Amino acid sequence: MISLITNFLTNAIQSGTSVLYGIYGETITERSGIVNLGTEGSMILGAIAAYIVAADSGSMGLAIICAMLAGGALALIHAYLCINRKANQLASGLTLMFLGLGIAAFYGREYVSVSITGLNKIAIPLLSKIPVIGEAFFNQDILTYLSFVLCPVLWWFLYKTRKGLFLRAAGEDKEVVYAYGKNPQSLRYLATVLGGMISAIGGAQLSIAYTKTWSEGMTNGRGIIAVSLVVLAKYNPSKAMIGAYVYGGAQALNVILQSQGVEISPFLLMMLPYVITLVALFVSSVRKGTNAPNELKNIIGG
């Protein structure tokens, strides 16, 4: 039973980590008043860029940097279209998602059968020996640890720095930012590109750390799930883990119930991550009103 719980936690974190980066990235972006449905595109570009660089250079650090550049570049197009060209954000984001998937498939063609060393798990001494949770939390790959660290860092950035304050203000009321002599548009550029870069690390985690495989379309909707989980995380990086691990936990539960031979249709179990995510969204939105940044309300009309 204990080993089942450990296994559940380990799987929940591993399945949730890529989504967690997506939530972090999209939270930053949405906080500035921009919705980027192209998160999936940034993630898949991150996955392929990291894989190509990992395979060709062997340097994992370089792989992660290139993943961030690729994901950031796609988000930069979104920022330009939405901010300078006043394009419809939903249309731009969706289109960029498909563009990202297409570019990744094109450049990934040669890498389907290529093997890489990738990022292996690193057990943290002492901590990884804690019963039940040690293995799950402290025997993971470096990108998973980074995702733990990013939680307070991003929260601190958004809520404790001047830059973060103005960034949030751009999402609430850009006129206020103007009044303070700052340009909300450049803050939105920053937030969108940074969001794309962070999301892309999630893609890299999938390809070079978790699965050590490149496969076309391997993000498989995780970026889209991340966008919807931003709402569950109440647009706050400190709650992003809740969103990510609700999804990851549901996915882990599906697999563990199957391995225990529980007599529930596998088709129902496969739906579990999506059903639980929907239920969580339902419950969280019933309880309290929305914390959505004010400027987001103009997007549908925009």
Partner 1 sequence: MKIMKKLLALGLCVSMMTAMVACGGSDSASTESTSAAGEKTTIGFIYVGASDDYGYNQAAYKGMEAVKAHFGDKVEILNQEKVPETSEASDVLEQMIQSGATILFPTSFGHLTPAEDVAKNYPNVIFEHQGGMETMPNLGTYFGTIWDPYYLAGIAAGHATKSNKLGFVAAFPISQSLANVNAYTLGAQSVNPDITTTVIFTGDWSDPAKQTEAANTLIADGCDVLAQHQDATKTIVELCEANNVYTVGYHADASELAPNMWLTAAVWDWSGLFVDICQAIMDGKWQGSQYDAIYRGGMAEGIVDLAPFGKAVPQEVQDEILALKAEMIAGTRHTFENEIKDQNGNVVCENGSFLSEEQVESMNYFVEGVIGTIE
Q: Rounded CA gap, 164 and 237, in Å? A: 12
Map 260-289 to HEC letters.
CCCCCCHHHHHHHHHHHHHHHHHHHHHHCC
Residue 14 vs 39, nearer CB to partner 1: 14
Looking at the Cβ atoms of 170 and 269, the one nearer to partner 1 is: 269
Q: How far is the CB of 271 from partner 1 (least distance, A)?
A: 8
Question: Which residue, 102 or 152, is less far from partner 1 as judged by CB?
Answer: 102
Spatial separation of the C-alpha atoms in residues 91 and 76, rounded to whole Å = 15
The least distance separating partner 1 from the CB of residue 156, rounded to whole angstroms, comes to 30
Scan for tokens 């993943």, then name that residue: 67
Residue pointed to by tokens 């040690």: 134
Q: What's the min distance (Å) between Cβ of 58 and partner 1?
A: 17
- In the complex, the smallest distance separating the C-beta of residue 265 from partner 1, rounded to whole angstroms, is 5
The tokens describing 175, both together, are: 């006129």
Taking the C-alpha atoms of residue 75 and residue 77, their distance in angstroms, rounded to an integer, is 5
At its nearest, how many Å lie between partner 1 and the CB of residue 78?
11
Alpha-carbon distances, residue 216 vs 22, 78, 94, 197, 198 (angstroms): 19, 23, 18, 20, 21
Residue 99 vs 165, nearer CB to partner 1: 99
Q: Which is nearer to partner 1, 8 or 155 (CB)?
A: 8
Cβ closer to partner 1: 167 or 269? Answer: 269
CA–CA dist 298, 302 (Å, integer): 6
Report the SS3 class of residue 36. Answer: coil
Q: Which residues bind partner 1 (CB under 8 A)?
A: 3, 6-7, 10-11, 14-15, 18, 77, 80-81, 84-85, 99, 102-103, 105-106, 109, 112-113, 115, 206, 210-213, 215-216, 218, 220, 222, 251-252, 255-256, 258-267, 269-270
Shortest reach from residue 152's CB to partner 1, in Å: 26
